[in-house]
A = this chain, B = another copy of it.
Amino acid sequence: MDSLKTGGNAQIAGVVWRALRVISDDRGAVLHMLRADSPEFTTFGEAYFSELRPQAVKGWKLHLRMTQRLVVPVGRIRFVIFDTRPSSPTLGTVMEVQSGRPDHYGLLTIPPGLWYGFQNVGTCDALIANCADMMHDPAESKGLPLGSREIPFQWETTNAVLSGDVTRSILELRFPSAARCPIH
């Protein structure tokens, strides 16, 4: 782990965040996500959503083949990514990036081979959308518990306690109901 780097400015090779357009309107905005001619587009595999309660964390996950193309149309999310690819120029790097509303809406691309997790850093429910390049296949992903010592990053939440049950890769918790929140 000689090459360990961390903090807000660390970059991992192949991870890209790009600002996307939000077209405001009194009725509610239109928000871009992905087009067939976007630089990030390759193939369409599956589009789905993941909700996240305030402070909640999902992770760690590593995909062997799938590329994640993630936007946060509701709320604000902190993504933490860790590079264990043996031949990567950024091997050992921990990267953090925030994405979401109201002023940092964009598309985060995470290539395969990287560990990642994400946390809702807002006070309201958040929504993440993924337009992945392949369909869900449990055989091509791996998980680690959030408290794993294999990843040099410690999640913290104000309303949940990390479980010692390493068979589950989630925070063992009962999050309180979300505050009643507007979309952004």
B-side contacts of A182, CB under 8 Å = 124-125, 177-181
Does any Cβ of B come within 8 Å of A58's Cβ? yes
Measured in the bound complex, the distance between the Cα atoms of B36 and A47 in whole Å is 9
Contact among B34, B125, B173, B174 with A46 in the assembled complex (CB-CB below 8 Å)? B34
Residues of B contacting A32 in the complex (Cβ-Cβ under 8 angstroms):
48
Check: A29 CB closer than 8 A to any chain B CB.
Answer: yes
Return the CB mask of A72-91 against B: 1 if under 8 Å, else 0. 01100000000000000000
In the assembled complex, the CB of A120 is this many whole angstroms from the nearest CB of chain B, namely: 8
CB distance from A175 to the nearest CB of B (A): 6
Q: Using Cβ atoms and an 8 Å threshold, which residues of chain B touch A136?
A: 35
Contact A135 B36 (CB under 8 A): yes
Do A27 and B183 form a contact, CB below 8 Å, given A34-B46, A73-B127, A127-B73? no
A39 touches B (CB below 8 Å): no
Select one of B28, B43, B129 contacting A125, CB under 8 A: B28
Chain A 124-172 residues near chain B, CB threshold 8 A: 124-127, 129, 131, 135-136, 170-171
Q: How far is the CA of A56 from the CA of B37 in the complex (A)?
A: 31
B33 touches A47 (CB 8 A): yes
> Oligomeric state, in number of copies?
2
In the complex, A4 has a CB within 8 A of chain B: no
Give the residue of B36, B37, B173, B181 whose beta carbon is less than 8 angstroms from that of A27: B173
Would B48 and A31 count as touching, CB distance under 8 A?
Answer: yes
For A124, list chain B residues within 8 Å (CB).
180, 182
Tell whether A7 is near chain B: CB-to-CB under 8 Å. no
- The residues of B that contact A48 with a CB separation of less than 8 Å are 30-33
Which of B73, B135, B178, B180 is within 8 Å of A49, CB to CB?
Answer: B73
